[in-house]
C-alpha cells in the first residue's frame, strides 16, 4: 500500500476504531488492553518500518504525562492518605529490591556486565496503574488495596527512571559516586514533590479565576499546565513525572470549576495516548528478533513475577498492617506496562552495546507479565475475597457545563449524613441570587425540585449558579 497522506489518515482512523473495540473484548477476556494494542503495533511492523527510538521515547513521555495527570485527577486523597506510607515504601524500597534481584538474574541469564544487568532490573522495576485497573474493570475491589496499588503505580515511575538513568551514566562514565547519587535522588524526589504541590495550587487558581470565552478551553488549560509542570520541573533536574502526579492529585481533590469537563476530556485523551503509545512501541519490535531471546525473556518474566516482585513487596511492607493474602495479591498485581518499554529506549538512544537485545527482552517480559498476570488478577482477587459485587452503573447521567458567556455553570453537590440541611425544605435555603437547584438525584430516582421538597442525606443536587456565587452556594447547601 502506498503511504499517501489520505492513506495514513485512513490507517490512523481504522487503528483508533479497532483499539477502542478491543478494549471491550479485553475486559471480557480479563486481559489488559495494552496486550491488544502492542499486538496491533507488532502486526503493523510487517508493513511499516519504524526504528526511531528517539521519537518513540518523546511520544512515550508525553503519553505518560497525560496518563499520570488523568490518573491523579481521579485519585481520592482521602483514600491515598491512609495508604501513603505503604505505597511510598513500595515505590522506593520495593522498586530498589526488585531492581537488585531481577538485575542479578539478568546479569547471568543475558550474560551482561553487572551495571548492565542492574540497568535492566531498573527498567522493569515499576508497575503500571492503567494496565492494572483495565484488568480489574468494574470489579468492586477492596478500597485499601486499590488505593495502595494506585498510589504505588503513580509514584514508582520516578524511582525507576532515576535508577535507569543513573546506571546508564555509570556505564558510560565508569565512575561511581554514591554520595552524588544519593543527593541527586533526594533532590529529584524532594523538589519534584514540592514543585508539584506549588504547580497544583497555581493550576487550581488559574482554572477557577480566569474567565475564558469557552468552557471547552478549561480542559485544554489543565492539560497544558500538566505539561508545563513536567517541563519546568525537569528543567531543574527534578522528577517531572512525580510532580505531574502530585499536581494532578491536588487539582483533582480541590474545589474546581468545570470539573466534569476537565476529567472527561483528560480521560478520553488519556485513552487515546495510551492506545497510540503502545501501538508505536509495538512498531519498534521486530517479532523475528523475539524468537532468539524467547527462553531468556520467559525465564526473567517468571523470576520477576514469582521471585523479585514478591520479595520486593514483602520486604517493603514488612512492618505494614497488611495480611499475608493482601501482600500476595499486591505482589501478583504488579503488572508491567508503558514505563518499562519507554525506559528501554534510553539505552537505545545512549548507544549502549547490548541495547537492542535489552529492549527486546524488556518487551518480552512486559508482554508476558501483562498476558499471564493480567488474565488471572481478577480471579485471584475473587479467590482471596477482595472483591464485592460488580458495581452497578450510575442510574443517572447529567452533563455539567458552563452556560455560554453568562459565566454560569451546573455544579454537583452531595448532602452528607449529619448535614445541617438534612430535613430542610428548599424554600428555607437562602440561596444567592440567580442560583437554581435544577435536579435532585435520590437513590434511583430523579426528584423534581420544589419549594416544599425536603432534603435527605445522600441526595445529589445539581445547582445552576454563577461562578462568583459558587462558593457561597456550596456553603449554604452543604453546611446549612
CATH of the domain at 453: 3.30.70.1450
* pLDDT tens-digit map of 12-43: 788 788 777 777 666 565 566 777 788 888 88
CB atoms within 10 A of CB 296: 18
C-alpha 226/C-alpha 240 separation (Å) is: 10
Range of the domain at 448: 404-479
Using a cut of 0.85, tell me whether the model's pTM lies above it: no
Decide: helix, strand or coil at residue 125: coil
The C-alpha atoms of residue 382 and residue 369 are separated, in whole angstroms, by: 20
Pairing of strands 460-466, 408-414: antiparallel
Helices (H), 110-142: 114-123, 129-136
pLDDT at 373: 85
Q: In this structure, what C-alpha cell is assigned to residue 241?
A: 513525572
Q: How many CA atoms lie within 13 A of 204 on its CB side?
A: 17
- Please report, for the domain that includes residue 355, its CATH number: 1.20.1530.20
Helical (H) or strand (E) element with 408? strand 408-414
Q: What pairing do the DSSP bridges indicate for beta strands 408-414 and 445-447? A: unpaired
Among 348, 383, 418, the domain-final residue is 383
Q: Confirm if 38 and 337 have CB atoms less than 8 A apart.
A: no
For the cut 90, the answer to whether the pLDDT of residue 191 exceeds it is: yes
Distance between CA atoms of residues 233 and 249, nearest Å: 17
Q: Which three cell numbers stand for residue 187?
A: 533532590
Tally of structural domains, the chain: 2
Last residue of a domain, which of 331, 349, 383?
383
The C-alpha cell that represents 233 in the structure block? 520541573
Q: Is residue 100 part of a domain?
A: yes
Report d(CA 221, CA 65) in Å as an integer. 14
DSSP secondary structure code for residue 390 in this structure: P
**Worst-scoring range by mean pLDDT, 133-137, 250-254, 331-335?**
133-137
273 and 125 fall within a common domain: yes
Q: In angstroms, how far is CA 338 from the centroid of its own chain?
A: 10
Which of 118-122, 136-140, 289-293, 387-391 reaches the highest mean pLDDT?
Answer: 118-122
Q: Is residue 394, in this structure, part of any structural domain at all?
A: no
> Do 367 and 460 belong to one domain?
no
392 found inside a domain: no
* 223: confidence class by pLDDT, cuts 50, 70, 90: very high
Confidence label for 322 from pLDDT (cuts 50, 70 and 90): very high
Instruction: Kindly state whether residues 409 and 319 are assigned to the same domain.
Output: no
For 465, the enclosing helix (H) or strand (E) is: strand 460-466
Domain boundary among 324, 350, 383: 383
Three-state secondary structure call for residue 325: helix
Checking 133-137 for CB contacts under 8 A at 24+ apart, the result is: 134/23, 134/26, 134/27, 134/32, 134/33, 134/34, 135/30, 135/31, 135/32, 135/335, 135/374, 135/377, 135/378, 136/377, 136/378, 136/381, 137/27, 137/378
pLDDT mean over 429-438? 86
- Say yes or no: 418 and 361 in one domain: no
Amino acid at each position: 500500500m502506498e503511504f499517501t497522506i489520505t492513506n495514513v489518515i485512513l490507517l490512523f482512523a481504522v487503528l483508533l476504531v479497532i483499539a477502542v473495540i478491543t478494549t471491550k473484548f479485553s475486559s471480557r477476556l480479563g486481559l489488559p488492553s495494552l496486550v491488544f494494542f502492542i499486538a496491533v503495533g507488532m502486526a503493523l511492523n510487517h508493513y511499516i518500518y519504524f526504528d526511531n527510538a528517539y521519537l518513540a521515547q518523546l511520544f512515550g513521555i508525553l503519553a505518560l504525562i497525560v496518563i499520570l495527570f488523568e490518573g491523579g485527577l481521579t485519585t481520592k486523597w482521602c483514600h491515598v492518605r491512609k495508604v501513603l506510607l505503604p505505597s511510598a515504601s513500595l515505590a522506593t524500597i520495593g522498586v530498589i529490591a526488585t531492581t537488585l534481584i531481577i538485575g542479578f538474574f539478568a546479569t547471568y541469564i543475558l550474560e551482561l556486565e553487572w551495571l548492565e544487568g542492574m540497568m535492566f532490573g531498573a527498567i522493569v522495576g515499576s508497575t503500571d496503574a492503567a494496565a492494572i485497573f483495565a484488568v480489574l474493570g468494574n470489579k468492586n475491589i477492596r478500597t485499601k488495596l486499590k488505593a495502595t496499588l494506585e498510589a504505588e503505580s503513580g509514584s514508582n515511575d520516578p524511582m525507576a527512571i532515576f535508577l535507569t538513568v543513573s546506571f546508564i551514566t555509570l556505564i558510560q562514565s565508569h565512575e561511581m559516586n554514591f554520595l552524588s547519587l544519593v543527593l541527586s535522588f533526594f533532590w529529584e524526589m524532594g523538589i519534584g514533590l514540592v514543585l508539584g504541590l506549588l504547580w497544583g495550587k497555581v493550576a487550581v487558581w488559574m482554572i477557577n479565576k480566569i474567565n475564558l470565552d469557552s468552557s471547552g478551553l478549561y480542559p485544554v488549560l489543565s492539560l497544558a499546565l500538566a505539561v508545563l509542570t513536567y517541563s519546568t520541573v525537569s528543567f531543574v533536574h527534578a522528577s517531572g513525572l512525580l510532580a505531574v502526579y502530585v499536581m494532578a492529585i491536588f487539582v483533582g481533590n480541590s474545589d474546581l470549576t468545570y470539573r466534569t469537563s476537565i476529567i472527561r476530556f483528560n480521560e478520553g485523551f488519556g485513552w487515546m495516548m495510551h492506545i497510540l503509545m503502545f501501538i508505536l512501541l509495538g512498531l519498534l519490535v521486530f517479532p523475528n528478533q523475539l524468537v532468539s531471546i524467547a527462553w531468556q525473556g520467559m525465564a526473567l518474566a517468571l523470576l520477576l513475577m514469582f521471585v523479585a516482585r514478591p520479595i520486593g513487596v514483602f520486604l517493603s511492607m514488612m512492618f505494614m498492617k497488611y495480611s499475608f493474602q493482601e501482600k500476595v495479591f499486591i505482589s501478583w498485581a504488579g503488572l508491567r506496562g508503558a514505563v518499562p518499554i519507554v525506559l528501554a529506549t534510553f539505552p537505545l538512544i545512549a548507544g549502549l552495546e547490548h541495547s537492542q537485545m535489552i529492549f527486546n527482552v524488556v518487551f518480552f517480559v512486559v508482554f508476558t507479565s501483562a498476558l499471564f498476570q493480567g488474565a488471572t488478577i481478577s480471579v485471584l482477587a475473587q479467590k482471596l475475597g477482595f472483591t464485592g459485587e460488580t458495581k452497578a452503573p450510575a442510574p443517572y447521567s447529567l452533563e455539567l457545563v458552563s452556560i455560554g458567556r453568562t459565566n454560569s455553570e451546573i455544579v454537583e453537590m452531595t448532602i452528607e449524613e449529619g448535614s445541617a440541611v438534612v430535613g430542610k425544605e428548599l424554600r428555607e435555603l437562602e440561596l444567592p441570587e440567580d442560583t437554581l437547584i435544577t435536579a435532585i438525584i435520590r437513590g434511583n430516582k430523579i426528584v423534581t425540585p420544589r419549594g416544599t421538597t425536603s432534603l435527605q442525606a445522600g441526595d445529589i443536587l445539581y445547582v445552576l449558579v454563577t461562578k462568583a456565587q459558587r462558593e457561597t452556594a456550596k456553603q449554604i447547601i452543604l453546611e446549612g
